[in-house]
Structure 1
Amino acid sequence: MKQKVTTMIIEDDPRASYALELTINQHPDFEVVAISETYADALLHYELFKPQMVFVDISLPDGSGMEVIQKLRRDGANCYFIMTTAERDAKTVEQAVQQGISDYLVKPLRMSRVHQALDDYNFYRRKLATREQVDQGAIDQILGKRSTTNVRQTPKGIDATTLKTLKKILKTEQLTDFSVEDMSDRMKISRITVRRYLEYLESEGIVKMVLNYKTGGRPRRHYQLTDINLLN
C-alpha cells in the first residue's frame, strides 16, 4: 500500500480545521495526523509527528503562524508549509513568501483549491524524484512558470454546454441554497461531476460553499448563489 503524505493542521477555529481535515483526507495521497489550535501545541505536535506537510493559519491565540514557521525553520524542520488565512493584503503575502511557504490559500477555503495545492506538491516531488539534474524548462515547470505556448482557453474538465445548463438552472429556478445532490437530480449527472462544476463556479465567485451543521451528524456542504447577475 502506498504510504500517504503525513499532514498537520494549525488552526484555532474548530469548524475550519474540521472542514480542512475532511478535505485533505478525501485526497487519496494525504492523511491528517495532527491538529493544533495554538502556537505551543503546534511545536509539540510537530516534534511528535514530524509531518511532511503543514497547513498553518496566521492568527493563533498565543502567537502567529509566521512565528511557527520561523521557529520550526530555525530548528531544522524538513516539511512544506501552506498558509491558510483570511489576510489578503500584499504585505502579508510577501512576508509569507519570504518565510518559504509552498502555497497561500485565502479563506474561506475551496475544496478544489486545497486539492490543487496537494496535487502541486505531488507534482513537485515526482519531478525531483525522477532526475538528478534539471534544466531550466523543468525548473520552470516545477515552479509553475507560465508557458508562452499551448495556453488553455477553457478550464480543464469543464464542458461549455454542461456549464451553460447548470447556469440556466440556477438562473431560471433562482436557487439560493442547494446541495450537490439537489443539482445532480436536476441535471441527471453524477454528483462528482456536479461538484467539479460547482467548485469552478465557486472559483469564479458565482457561488459559495457553506457547511450546514444542522444535520444531526457530519456537516453537509451546501452552495449559495452570490449574485444572479454573474450568471449572464
Structure 2
Amino acid sequence: MTAKTRVMLIEDDIRASYTLESTINQDSRFEVVAVSETCTDALMQFQAFQPQLVFVDITLPDGNGLDIIRQLRDQDTDCHFIMTTAERETTTVEKAVQLGVIDYLVKPIRMSRISQALDDYARYKQKLVSASTVDQDDIDQLLRRSPVKTERRTPKGIDSTTLEALKKLLYNEKLHNFSAEDIGEKMNFSRVTARRYLEYLESEGILRLVLNYNTGGRPRRLYQMIE
C-alpha cells in the first residue's frame, strides 16, 4: 500500500483551515498531519512532522507565510509549498513564485480548486519518480508551460449528477433561506446528505450560510443563493 503524502496547514483562518483539511483528508492519497495558526508554532511542528506538502497562508498573527517558506528553503528542506491567501497583488504573487511555490490558491478557497491542486501535485511527483530522465515535453508539463487538461472532479461523497440536479432545482425554484431539511425533502435524500451538498456549494461560492438565531435554542443553518 502506497504511503499517504504528509500535508501540513499553516492557516489562521478557521473557515479556510476547515475547508482545506476536510477536502485534503477526503483524498486517499493525502493526510493532514499538522495544523498551525502562527509562524512560531508552524516552524516547530514542521520539524516534528516533516510534511512533504505545506499549504501556507501569507498573513499570520506573528509574521508572514512567505518568510516561513524562505526559512525552510534556507534549511534545504525537501518539501513543496502551496500558497493560500486573499493577497492578489502581482508583487506578492511574484515573490511566491520566486520562492518556488507550486500553486497559489486565492480565498475564498473552493474545494474543487483544492482537489485540482492535489491532482497537479500528485501528477508532478509521479512524473518525477516514474523515470530517471525527462524530455523537453515532460519538463514543459512539469513547469506548466503545456498544462495537461484534466476533467475536473468533485470531492468524495459529491456525485456530479446529483450536484447538477440540485443546482438546477435551486436556480429554477429561486429558493431563499432554505435548510438542509428543505432540500432533503425536495431531493428525496437525508438531511446529512443534503447538508454535505449545500456545504460544498457554499465552498464553491454559489451559496452563503446564514445562521437564524430566532429559534429559542441552537441557531438554525439556512442557505441563500449568491447573486
TM-score range, shorter chain: 0.7 to 0.9
Q: Is the 8 A contact 1:110 1:209 kept in 2?
A: no
Mapped contact 2:19–2:111 kept (Cα < 8 A): no
Encode CA deviations 1:54-95: one digit per residue, 9 max, x unaligned: 011001111110100001100111101010011112221111
Partner deviation per Cα, 1:7-50 (whole Å, 9 max, x = no partner): 11101233432332122111111111111111111111111111
Q: Give the equivalent residue in structure 1 for 2:174.
A: 174
Alignment size in residue pairs: 214
Q: 1:223 to 1:102 in 2, by over 3 A?
A: farther
Percent same amino acid at aligned positions?
Answer: 49
Name the aligned partner's letter for residue 57 of structure 2: D
In 2, Cα distance between equivalents of 1:73 and 1:65: 12
Q: How does 1:70-219 map to 2 (within 5 A)?
A: 70-146=70-146, 163=164, 166-176=166-176, 186=186, 195=197, 207-208=206-207, 210=209
Code of the residue aligned with 1:22 in structure 2: it is: S
How far, CA to CA, are the matches of 1:30 and 1:72 in structure 2?
21
Distance change in 2, residues 1:202/1:42 (3 Å): closer
Give the alignment's TM-score, normalised by structure 1.
0.74
Distance across 1 between alignment mates of 2:180 and 2:138 = 38
Structure showing greater relative contact order (alpha-carbon pairs closer than 8 Å, 6 or more residues apart): 2
SS at match of 1:172: helix
Deviation at 1:137, TM superposition (A): 1.4
Unaligned runs of 5+ in 2: none
Report the residue type matching 1:88 in the other structure.
R
Instruction: Give the structure 2 partner of residue 16 of structure 1.
Output: 16
What displacement does 1:109 show?
1.2
Question: 2:9 touches 2:36 (CA, 8 Å); kept in 1?
Answer: yes
Counterpart CA distance in 1 for 2:138 and 2:72 is: 29
- Aligned-residue RMSD, C-alpha: 3.8
Provide the C-alpha distance between the structure 2 equivalents of 1:37 and 1:84, rounded to a whole number of angstroms.
13
Change (3 A) 1:180 1:155: farther
- Mapped to 1, the partners of 2:139 and 2:90 lie a distance apart of 26
- Unaligned runs of 5+ residues in structure 1 are 228-232
Q: Name the counterpart of 1:230.
A: none
